[in-house]
Each structure stands twice: as C-alpha cells, then as structure tokens.
Amino acid sequence: MRQSISRRRALQGAAALGGLAAPMLNTVTAYSQSSAFNWQRFKGQAIEIVMETGPRADLVKKHQKEFEEKTGIKVGLEIIPEQQARQKTTIELNSGKPAFDLFNIAYHVQKRQIEKAKWLFDITPWTKDPQMTPAEYEFGDISKPGWDYATQSDGKITSLPMFVDYFMIYINKELFAKKGLQPPKTMDEMMDAAAKLNDPANGIAGYVGRGLRNANVPLYTQYLSGWGQQTTKGDPPELITDTPDAIAAAEYYKKILTSYAPQGVTGFNWNECQGLFMQGRAAIWLDGIGFAPPAEDKTKSRVVGKVGYILPPAGPKAHHSVFFGGGAAIPNASAKKEAAYMAALWMTGREMTSRMLQTGGGVPFRSEPLKDPKVLSGLTIPKEWADCAAGCAPISMPGLPVIVPVTQFRDTIGTALTNMLGGADPAAELKRATAEFKPILEKSEQG
Amino acid sequence: MAGADISGGMTSRASGDARLRPYLGFIWPALIVCTAVIIFPWLFTVWMSLNDWHIGSERAFVGWANYANLATDRRFLESIGHTFYFTILAVFLPLVLGTMAALVFHKKFRGRGFFRALFIMPMMATPVAVSLVWTMMFHPQLGVLNYLLSLVGLPPSQWVFATSTVIPSLILVEIWLWTPFVMIIVLGGLASLPTEPYEAALIDGASQWQMFWKITYPLVLPFLVVAMIIRTIDALKAFETIWVITNGGPGTASETLNVYLYAQAFAYNQVGTASAVVVVFFAIIVALSLVLLWARQKAKWS
C-alpha cells in the first residue's frame, strides 16, 4: 500500500514537471500533464479504419458509438472483403500515403511483407507507457503466439493481436449416433469414421474439407502438423514441403478427400464445405473455428443443436491445431497515431474481444475471456465450442510460413494438392511444387 | 521531350510551306493527351518489365531476366496454351451457332420479333451475374446441369471441377453469352443481301444447301469476319467469367494469360513480372490482329 502511494506521488511530481514544461512543447506532449491513462486524451481527433468484412468488423461497427463517446475520437470505418482489403492496404501502404490510420493486419499473409517494407509504426514504447496503455489492458494475458505474431523480427512491436483462428473439427452428432460412432481423436480414427459415414447414394459425404487451390493449404498444414512438421524451418525460412512426412501428409489429404468427400471437392472453399455441412450432408468437416454462429443459426442451418465441436485429430507423430490470426496495426505514415492507438487498444482489449468470443466471431489471443464465467454465460453458441477453443490454444502451431510471398506459396502448393485430387501422385507433385517455389522464396528473402 | 523533337522536325520541313505554320499549335492538345494516357503508360510498362519490382521492396533493374524467367515458367507457358484453346473454341462455336441462328431468324415466321428479343437477352446480362448463375448450375451435387443429365440417363459430369472438362464447360457459358452477338451482326448482313441471285438460282433449280454455300455464305463472309475479329478480341480479353467461375482452377487448369497476369500483379505483387506478361500478351494480340486484318482483306467482296 505504502509503496503504491509513494509511486503515485512520484508520478505526480513527474507530471508537475511535465506541466511546467508543457507550454514549450507541442500539443501532444502537453497531454502528459495528467499522470494516469485517460481515454479522452486525444479527444476531437478523427481517424480512418480499414477492416476486412466479417464478424470482427461487424462488432466494431456495432459498438463504434461507444468508442466515440468513451474517447471523443471520431471514427470513419471502411469495411472491405478480405482479398480486396489486403490488396488495398498493401498498395496504399506502398504509396507512402495510406488513407487510413489503423487497419487489421492478417498476420499469416501479410506479416513478413509488411515488416520487410517497414510500413508500420513501432508501438513498443507506448506499450510500456502507463499514460498510453491502461493497466486494464492486461498485456500478460495475451498468449505467446499472439506476441510472436505482433513482434517483428527486429524485436519491435508494431501491432496489437486481436484474434486467433484455430483449425478444429465440426461433426454431425446425429449421423455419428446413427452409426454408433465416437468422435475421432486421431487421424486414423477420422479416416475410419469418414469411411463408415460416407453414403453417396443418399447424398451424405463422410468428410468434407477444402480442395480449392490456395484455400486448401491450411487444411494440408493441419494434417502436416500431425507429423510434427511445418512447411518451412529456420531463419531465413527454408522450404521443407518435400520431406517424407510432407508426402505422407499429402497422401492422407488425397485419400480422405478423394474417397469420402463429394465430387467436385476440388472447387470447394470453406463456404462450399459449410453449405454442405449445414444442410446435414457432411458428417465431418475440418476447418477454421469461426463457423459456429452460422451452423447454430436456425434460419441458415439444418443442423442446429446437432453439431459437435472437437479438437483436430492427433497425427501419427504429434497433436497440433494450426492457427492463423489478425491484429490491429498503425501505418508509419499516419498523422494520428495516438488516436489510432486508442482505437487499437479498444478493439483488442478485454471488453471487445470478450464480445467477439460471445458471438462466436473469433477467439481472442487472450486466455481470461475463455475462463471468465461471466463471459461464458453470455455465449450465443454452445459452450462446447468455447471449450474446444480453449483446448486448441496449448497445442497450437502456426498454419502458414511467415514469408513474403505467402499467396504464391499457397497457389503453388495448393495447385499440387488440387492436382492430387485429380489423380496425380503426391510425391511427384510436392517435389515439383517445392522445386518451383524454392527460388521464389530465396529471392524474396534477399530483396 | 519527344513532342519537342517532333515539332522541331516539323517546322524545319514545313519551312517551305508557310501556310501550315499557324496550325501547328493545334497539334499540341492531342499530342499531350496521347502521350499522357497512351504512350507514357505503355513505355512505363515496358520499363517496368525490365525491372524486378515486388511491392514492398526496392526496385532493381534486371534487363531481360523477367522475360527469361517467363520463358521457362511452366505456369505461364500453360496459360498461353489455355488462352489459345479457350479463344479458338470461344470464337468458332458462337460463330457457327450464331450464323445458324441468324439464318433461322431471317426467315419469316409467327412471333419472330418476340423470339429474336428473347434470344438476344443473354447479351444484355452482366457477365459477372451470369457467371454466378452458371457457377450454381455447374455444382456437381446441387447444380441443375447434372440433374438434366440424369434425366436423359447420362452419368454426372464434374464440369468446372475437373481439369479435363473445365475449359469446355467455360466455353458453354461463352457460347450462351455471345452467340446472340454474332447472330445480330450476321442478321444485319443477311438483311443487306440482294434477292436477285436467289431468284436466278431458284430458276436454275439450285437446292437450299447450294444456295447457302454458293450465294449466302460468300456474300455474308465479310460480316462473319467482322464478327470474328470482335469475338477474338473479346475472347482473348475474357476475364470475368473465368475469374468468377473457376478462379483459374482447378489447380491452374483454366488459367489464361489474363488470369495469370492478375495473379502476378495483384496477388503476388510482382509488378515487374506482370509487366513482362503484359508486353508478351500485347505482342500476341498485335500478331493476331495482323492475321485477322489480312483475313478481312481477303474476305472483301471483289
């Protein structure tokens, strides 16, 4: 107690000094007169935010007024579909004059490119400054993968982690019960279950997953994680997609999708899979964690209340759930970095991420919301889902390599995977794709 | 710079012709606009194609390296093949079907105006919307096309979801979309034909086929060539339908030059490589145009 009082005194003293010096300094430093964190500190400013279409953006839009009242900062929010948003932010950042002050960075796609280009503002000092970051933000609650994503290779923190996307299994409990099957715990069990549940004559697929080029790579890396491997290793990253384990994982991918998935799965992205699953026409679906809300929505889904949310299956060598994620980042070129940082704190803070969890719109990199009974009681989807999310965290492994040409990587490996579904040999396809992509990766690391 | 040189040359040559001089100033607006919107972007693209430029990293001059890489890039070479495969089918089939439709709609029958209007409808639809509708129809489980096949006892097809059938399936959409266009052009040609040769042929006892092959076809040929030129340009440029329906897939089985170009420029941010693709694409288009112009010359009524 005594200590904390004396610390406050000391801070007051410091603030008083700051107050004396204030008239000589610019307006921003003038705010340091108040010692404690104050949401209203950057009142009157207006910022522009770009977000990708989706539950996170919807949430920000819904509660935007609340933030504006809390801080006095006006927010212009632009919501654009994922692909276009990434193109737009890249091109505008490259132009040197982005029209936004805050945007949501997709770590698994943009991280390396953006850090190599040095487009982001270094927020490291602010994260340690009690006047810029309130104690209630609880930095310690954000998991290590979150900080790994937010920290650049040069050690600077340039974004605040917002949400993590794990891969998991959705099962149709009704179909499982009919055959008297238990939810699969291993990849072999999943293959068996898919075989037993597959009933094409009645329009039921035993299994469904992404086959579409590019989109299929995360599904493959999920299988690959069962062999305890990622797609690259070391720094600078070296491509290891033609190892015996990588080929074994590809053979699994080919077998389960060509044997137990519906025809035309080569063209399936998550939305086709989702459509099939929600119509009750697929027994097992392995994909990202964000699809619970539509599956539990009576107006869209025929499997409401019948969905089981379970951990991805363990592989022969390891048990992981691959993850992807996003955060909030401020461009170096922004003129309103302080106000943008306030918005970033709010978007990634405890309150907003708890709301995100409650609506099933995403899982925070934080662990407290997943344990907080108050948050969990407000869930709009089954608690089993939140349990599954909590279970994925300790076994998580990055789903995509942190490299510049992520899209090209996904296209090249994805084409190989799609070709396998068309009958090509996994070993030959992976060797070819690896040879094709290796020079591209090496070049990107030089530049 | 270039403009100054040209005007310099002009004045020295025009020195004998003093009458021209007052008007030379009027060239400037057109010259500036042309340079700004056509010549400069073009030269810039060529320049970019000689550089290695990935958005987010430094630009470096690499000479012909981008082109050398393209020459060995399997995906690029395949995309040229896909482009030609697609273009040939997407030009030829609508031409044949459009001509047949024009011959039918040239005849007088009840409700001709109504059916003509109906037939032209696809052309008025937006390609993106049309593509979305076809995407649903192609769906192997939920699509109507496989249902129709099952009605006549045929096995289901994978349509755009299998490597071997994807381009022919896309051609179906192109045919549906563009046959009316060919029909309109040919119909216009048919309407302009004289009736005397037919009367003479009838007196001579010619059959319907002979009249078509010996009279209608040669007379309508110039119109067909015009339709062919326009269709070829359109088919080479085709992007929306392919992008919306298959995204160039499965794998890269329907990736045409346009789709490849888009991926390089906007998905991989490889501005240099993309520019090189543009230059190659441009060369192909110029070569094709020359062939088509030559064909048009040949097809003229003489």
- CATH class, B69-299 region: mainly alpha
Q: What is the pLDDT of residues B2-17, one digit of tens each?
A: 444 444 445 555 456 7
CB contact under 8 A, A213 and B52: no
Residues of A in contact with B248 (CB under 8 A): 213
Residue given tokens 């539990």 in the structure block:
A296
Q: What is the ipTM of this complex?
A: 0.76
Asked if residue B81 has pLDDT above 70, the reply is: yes
Residue given tokens 């000094």 in the structure block:
A17
Q: What is the pLDDT of residues B15-66, one digit of tens each?
A: 567 788 888 888 899 999 999 999 999 999 999 999 988 887 788 899 899 9
Rounded average pLDDT over A172-184: 95
Of A212, A407, A444, the CB nearest to B249: A212
Percentage of chain B beyond pLDDT 90 is 51
The 10 Å CB-count burial string (b at 16+, else e) for A397-416 is bbbbbbbbbbbbbbbbbbbb
Residue A36's nearest CA partner among A60, A65, A15 is A15
Give pTM, 2 decimals.
0.82
| CATH code, A166-323+395-446 | 3.40.190.10
Of B58, B249, B269, the CB nearest to A418: B249
Q: What is the pLDDT of residues A109-165, one digit of tens each?
A: 999 989 988 999 999 999 999 999 998 998 889 999 999 999 998 999 999 999 999
Give the per-residue SS3 of chain B.
Answer: CHHHHHHHHHHHHHCCCCCCHHHHCCHHHHHHHHHHHHHHHHHHHHHHHCEECECCCCCEECCCHHHHHHHHCHHHHHHHHHHHHHHHHHHHHHHHHHHHHHHHHHCCCCCHHHHHHHHHHHHHCCHHHHHHHHHHHHCCCCCHHHHHHHHCCCCCCCHHHCCCCHHHHHHHHHHHHHHHHHHHHHHHHHHCCCCHHHHHHHHCCCCHHHHHHHHHHHHHHHHHHHHHHHHHHHHHHCCHHHHHHCCCCCCCCCCCHHHHHHHHHHHCCEHHHHHHHHHHHHHHHHHHHHHHHHHHHHHCCC
Pairing of strands A74-80, A159-172: unpaired
Omega prior to A236 cis, within 30 of 0: yes
How confident is the model at residue A6, as a pLDDT? 57
Is A39-165+324-392's fold the same as A166-323+395-446's? yes
> A205: nearest CA in chain B?
B141
- CATH class, A39-165+324-392 region: alpha beta
A328 CB contacts (<8 Å, ≥6 apart)? A102, A103, A104, A105, A159, A160, A162, A343, A344, A347, A348
CB contact under 8 A, B249 and A266: yes
**What ranges make up the beta strands (E) of A26-180?**
46-52, 74-80, 102-106, 159-172
Of A281, A414, A447, the CB nearest to B54: A447
For A157, B98, B122, the CA distances from B148, given in Å and listed in that order, are 58, 24, 21
How confident is the model at residue A186, as a pLDDT? 96
Spans of all domains in chain B: 2-49, 69-299
Residues of A in contact with B141 (CB under 8 A): 203, 262-264, 276, 281
Spans of all domains in chain A: 39-165+324-392, 166-323+395-446
A350, two tokens: 């405890």
Mean pLDDT of chain A: 90
Measured in angstroms, the CA of A342 and the nearest CA of chain B are apart by 27
